[in-house]
Amino acid sequence: MKEKKQTSMRDISKITGVSISTISRYINSSGYVKPSTGEKIEAAINKTNYVPNRNVKSVFGYKSHNIGLIVPAFTNPFFSEFSTYIGNYIQEAGYGCILCFTGDDKNTEIRNWELLKGYRVDGVISARSLYPDVWSKLGIPTVSFESNHNEQEVNICVDNYNGGSLAFNYLNKIGSKRFVHVRGPESFKATNERFNGFYDSAKAIDKNIEIIKSEKDYSLGTDISDNIKAFKFKKGDGIFVFNDINAINIISYLIDLGFRVPEDISVIGFDNSYISELSIPKLTTIEQPVKEIALKCFSNLLELMEHKVVVKSEEVLPVKLIIRDSTR
Partner DNA sequence: TTGTACGCGTTATCAT
Partner DNA sequence: ATGATAACGCGTACAA
Residue 94 sits in the site that holds DNA (CB under 7 A): no
Widest distance between CA atoms in the chain: 85
Distances in Å between the Cα of 41 and the Cα atoms of 7, 29, 32, 275 are 13, 13, 14, 52
Residue 24 interacts with which of a copy of itself, DNA, none, CB < 5 to 8 Å by class: DNA
Residue 64 interacts with which of a copy of itself, DNA, none, CB < 5 to 8 Å by class: a copy of itself
Residue 63 interacts with which of DNA, a copy of itself, none, CB < 5 to 8 Å by class: a copy of itself
Residue 263 sits in the site that holds a copy of itself (CB under 8 A): no
In this structure, how many other beta carbons lie within 10 angstroms of the beta carbon of residue 314?
14
Give CA–CA dist 240/324, Å, rounded.
Answer: 14
- Which CB, 20 or 323, lies closer to DNA? 20
Residues 104-133 touching a copy of itself, rule: CB under 8 A, are 108, 112, 114-115, 117-120, 122
Give CA–CA dist 204/39, Å, rounded.
Answer: 76
Tallying the residues shown for the chain, one arrives at 328
Q: Which value, to the nearest 10 degrees, does the dihedral of the CA atoms of residues 113, 119, 124, 128 take? A: -30
Residue 87 sits in the site that holds a copy of itself (CB under 8 A): yes
Residue 288 sits in the site that holds a copy of itself (CB under 8 A): no
The distance of closest approach from Cβ of residue 49 to a copy of itself in the complex, given in angstroms and rounded to an integer, is 5
Residue 207 sits in the site that holds DNA (CB under 7 A): no
Cα 105–chain centre separation: 15
Q: Which stretch binds a copy of itself (CB under 8 A): 91-99, 160-168, 194-202, 309-317?
A: 91-99
Residue 163 sits in the site that holds a copy of itself (CB under 8 A): no
Question: Are β-strands 237-241 and 284-287 bridged in parallel, bridged antiparallel, or unpaired?
Answer: unpaired
Residue 6 sits in the site that holds a copy of itself (CB under 8 A): yes
In this structure, how many other beta carbons lie within 10 angstroms of the beta carbon of residue 219?
17
Backbone dihedral angles phi then psi of residue 12, each to the nearest 5 degrees: -60, -40
With CB under 7 A as the contact rule, the residue among 3, 61, 92, 94 that binds DNA is 61
Radius of gyration, alpha carbons of the chain: 26
With CB under 7 A as the contact rule, the residue among 3, 4, 29, 32 that binds DNA is 32
Binding residues (CB under 7 A) for DNA: these are 1, 5, 8-10, 17-22, 24-25, 27-28, 30-34, 36-37, 52-53, 56-57, 59-62
